[in-house]
Structure 1
Amino acid sequence: MTSREIFEQIKKKQSFLCVGLDSDVNKIPRFLYDTTDPVFAFNKEIIDATHDLTVAYKPNLAFYESMGVSGWNTLEKTVNYIRYNYPDIFIIADAKRGDIGNTSNLYAKAFFDAMDFDAVTVAPYMGEDSVKPFLTYVGKYVILLALTSNKGASDFQYVKENDERLFEKVINTSKDWGTEENMMYVVGATRAEMLQDIRKIAPKHFLLVPGVGAQGGSLAEVARNGMNEQCGLLVNSSRGIIFAGDGEDFAQKARAAATEVQQEMASLLKEGSLL
Structure 2
Amino acid sequence: MTRSELFAQIQQKSSFLCVGLDPDLEKIPRHLLAEPDPIFSFCQAIIEETADFAVAYKPNIAFFEALGAKGWDTLARVEELIPDDIFTIADAKRGDIGNTSKLYAKAFFESMDFDSVTVAPYMGKDSVSPFLEFDNKWVILLALTSNAGSMDFQLIEDKAGKPLYQSVLEKSQDWGSPENLMFVVGATRGELIGEVRKSAPDHFFLVPGVGAQGGSLSEVAKYGMNSSCGILVNSSRGIIYASGEKDFAKAARREAKKLQEEMKNLLQKYM
Q: TM-score, normalised by structure 2?
A: 0.99
| Other-structure match for 1:249 | 247
Task: Write the deviation string for residues 124-168 of structure 1: whole angstroms up to 9, x where unpaired.
Answer: 000000101000001000000000001101110001112211000
Give the residue type in structure 1 aligned to 2:98: G
| Other-structure match for 1:10 | 10
Cα distance in 2 for residues equivalent to 1:151 and 1:14: 32
Give the residue type in structure 2 aligned to 1:23: P
1:170 correspondence with 2:168: yes
| Other-structure match for 2:29 | 29
Cα distance in 2 for residues equivalent to 1:264 and 1:222: 12
| Other-structure match for 1:51 | 51
Cα distance in 2 for residues equivalent to 1:248 and 1:20: 20
3-state SS, counterpart of residue 220 of structure 1: helix
| Other-structure match for 2:199 | 201
| Other-structure match for 1:69 | 69
| Other-structure match for 2:187 | 189
1:264 correspondence with 2:262: yes
3-state SS, counterpart of residue 203 of structure 2: coil
Superposition map of 1:129-148 within 5 A: 129-148=126-145
Cα distance in 2 for residues equivalent to 1:201 and 1:58: 25
Number of residue pairs aligned between Structure 1 and Structure 2: 270
Counterpart contact for 1:101–1:131, Cα < 8 Å: no
Counterpart contact for 1:21–1:238, Cα < 8 Å: yes
Task: Write the deviation string for residues 155-199 of structure 1: whole angstroms up to 9, x where unpaired.
Answer: 100011122110000000000101011100000000121111111
Residue 27 of structure 1 deviates from its aligned partner by: 0.7
The counterpart of 2:116, out of the listed 105, 110, 119, is: 119
Give 5+ residue unaligned stretches, structure 1. none
Cα distance in 2 for residues equivalent to 1:3 and 1:80: 21
Moved over 4 A (4+): none
Cα distance in 1 for residues equivalent to 2:256 and 2:184: 21
Cα distance in 2 for residues equivalent to 1:191 and 1:98: 23
Q: TM-score, normalised by structure 1?
A: 0.97
Task: Write the deviation string for residues 63-85 of structure 1: whole angstroms up to 9, x where unpaired.
Answer: 00111111111100000111xxx
Give the residue type in structure 1 aligned to 2:209: G
Cα distance in 2 for residues equivalent to 1:246 and 1:163: 47
3-state SS, counterpart of residue 197 of structure 1: helix
Counterpart contact for 1:145–1:185, Cα < 8 Å: yes
3-state SS, counterpart of residue 211 of structure 2: coil
3-state SS, counterpart of residue 141 of structure 2: strand
| Other-structure match for 1:155 | 152
Superposition map of 1:229-244 within 5 A: 229-244=227-242
| Other-structure match for 1:110 | 107
> What is the RMSD computed on CA atoms of the aligned residues?
0.6
Task: Write the deviation string for residues 45-90 of structure 1: whole angstroms up to 9, x where unpaired.
Answer: 00000001000000001100111111111100000111xxx11000
Residue 26 of structure 1 deviates from its aligned partner by: 1.1
3-state SS, counterpart of residue 160 of structure 1: coil
Give 5+ residue unaligned stretches, structure 2. none
3-state SS, counterpart of residue 20 of structure 2: strand
Cα distance in 2 for residues equivalent to 1:73 and 1:24: 16
